[in-house]
């Protein structure tokens, strides 16, 4: 017998998101006025409006002061290490069971949030990288994302400190994904992870990987041939090869190379020939085209970061504890949105579920959370002034 249609409301979305956070973070009431429910309403309102917690408190009439909210967050949130564990448990809380039945492709990448200030306690809190948005200082976070039948679930999140090796970051993410029940079939990495230490760790851990190779070596010139990865850039036709990386400490690692050649033909306003060079290990590619198409699926994690910034609370605090919590809130809310589309809003049919993303966009879901907070705490819709409004009669 076919079930009748149901209605999804903003109250359902708010209760599910708040219940997921409360289940794994174990938040406590700070005071009679600043309860867990009020605290989450303020946090969700700030995330929905892309503003700060201070602006959300000023907008909501029933919200406590900013100082009370910050004291509540600092007192009820677990310590930094425990918070990272709880956040990853919350990310795994809504994963479909099908993700745990078989190994999945994981995409790993780094996102940098510009920072214009001094470290809170330890200089390692500030990550250094190429200049962006007028600064070379950032708070860095790495995440692992799995693409399952068109839906992108973030399964692991970790902060990255200054000077930390990328091999340790990859190790943490792979282990956190395994704790959530997601086994790695193939790891898709950004070119920033192309190094001897990362390759050696993945080979020792028996984790297959695919990543673009960085063009290093001597460029071809008169009388001198190219060397290193630049040898493959001059190929006129795609093919397969081997390459050995050498680190500054003389450690070496050997990877397989796939060179995919083609012509831009006006794409991206470019003309001429290109050679895409990929390094891989632990897989048997079907073809060069399969390698290029498989790696293209990694770019879905870039969309995940773009959507994360649509729900990231703005802040000027130096506390990395709170900064990580605000980033985690955005990632968790996005996972909640993906879960609703997979479990509630999709249409069942033979073969694969029909996803209808037009039913509820991420921005619309965030607006629902904002309206739920306004219904619960009310908003300031009047201002006391010293002058009277002179209404002109037409």
* Gap between the Cα atoms of 347 and 367, Å rounded: 24
The single-letter DSSP state of residue 135 is E
CA-nearest of 179, 193, 190, 187 to 206 is 187
* Gap between the Cα atoms of 176 and 147, Å rounded: 17
Dihedral, CA of residue 166, residue 175, residue 81 and residue 16, to nearest 10: 120
Beta bridge partners of 256: 242, 280
Kindly give the pairing relationship between strand 135-148 and strand 104-114.
Answer: antiparallel
| 132 lies in the same domain as 248 | yes
pLDDT digits over 79-138, tens only? 999 999 999 999 998 898 888 888 999 999 999 999 998 999 999 999 999 888 889 999
Handedness of CA 95, 100, 102, 107 (dihedral sign): positive
pLDDT of res. 347: 84
| 350 lies in the same domain as 217 | no
Other C-beta atoms within 10 Å of 10: how many?
17
pLDDT of res. 263: 81
| 38 lies in the same domain as 104 | no
Q: Which residue has the tokens 């010139």?
A: 221
| 266 lies in the same domain as 370 | no
Look at residue 267 and tell me if it is in a domain: yes
Beta bridge partners of 137: 128
pLDDT digits over 133-162, tens only? 889 999 999 999 998 877 889 999 999 999
Compute the half-sphere exposure of residue 363: CA atoms within 13 Å on the CB side of its CA.
4
Q: What residues make up the domain containing 30?
A: 10-80+336-377
Q: Which residues of the chain have pLDDT under 70?
A: 1-4, 391-394
| 102 lies in the same domain as 75 | no
Look at residue 342 and tell me if it is in a domain: yes
Look at residue 163 and tell me if it is in a domain: yes
Q: Are the beta carbons of 168 and 201 closer than 8 angstroms?
A: no
Look at residue 393 and tell me if it is in a domain: no
């Amino acid at each position: 017998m076919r079930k009748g249609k149901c209605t999804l409301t903003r109250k359902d979305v708010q209760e599910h998101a708040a219940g997921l956070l409360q289940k794994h973070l174990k938040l406590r009431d700070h005071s009679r006025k600043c309860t867990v429910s009020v605290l989450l309403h303020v946090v969700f309102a700030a995330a929905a409006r892309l503003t700060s917690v201070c602006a959300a408190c000023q907008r909501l009439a029933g919200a406590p002061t900013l100082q009370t909210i910050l004291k509540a967050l600092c007192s009820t949130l677990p310590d930094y290490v425990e918070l990272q564990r709880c956040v990853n448990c919350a990310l795994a809380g809504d994963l479909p069971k099908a993700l745990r039945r078989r190994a999945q492709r994981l995409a790993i990448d780094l996102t940098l949030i510009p920072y214009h200030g001094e470290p809170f306690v330890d200089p390692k809190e500030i990550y250094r990288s190429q200049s962006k948005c007028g600064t070379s200082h950032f708070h860095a976070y790495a995440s692992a994302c799995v693409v399952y039948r068109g839906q992108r679930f973030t399964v692991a999140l970790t902060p990255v400190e200054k000077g930390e090796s990328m091999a340790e970051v990859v190790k943490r993410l792979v282990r956190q994904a395994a704790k959530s029940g997601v086994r790695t079939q193939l790891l898709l990495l950004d070119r920033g992870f192309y190094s001897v230490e990362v390759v050696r760790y993945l080979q020792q851990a028996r984790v297959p990987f695919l990543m673009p190779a960085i063009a290093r070596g001597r460029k071809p010139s008169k009388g001198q041939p190219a060397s290193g990865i630049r040898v493959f850039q001059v190929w006129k036709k795609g093919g397969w090869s081997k390459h050995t990386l050498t680190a500054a400490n003389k450690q070496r690692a050997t990877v397989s190379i796939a060179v995919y050649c083609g012509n831009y033909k006006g794409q991206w306003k470019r003309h001429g020939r290109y050679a895409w060079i990929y390094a891989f290990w632990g897989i048997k590619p079907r073809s060069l085209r399969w390698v290029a198409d498989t790696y293209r699926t990694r770019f879905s994690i870039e969309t995940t970061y773009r959507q994360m910034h649509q729900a990231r609370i703005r802040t000027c605090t130096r506390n990395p504890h709170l900064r990580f919590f605000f980033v985690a809130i955005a990632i968790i809310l996005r996972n909640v949105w993906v879960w609703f589309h997979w479990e509630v809003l999709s249409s069942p049919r033979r073969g694969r579920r029909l996803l209808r993303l037009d039913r509820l966009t991420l921005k619309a879901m965030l607006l629902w959370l904002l309206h739920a907070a306004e219904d619960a705490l009310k908003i300031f819709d009047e201002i006391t002034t010293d002058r009277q409004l002179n209404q002109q009669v037409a």
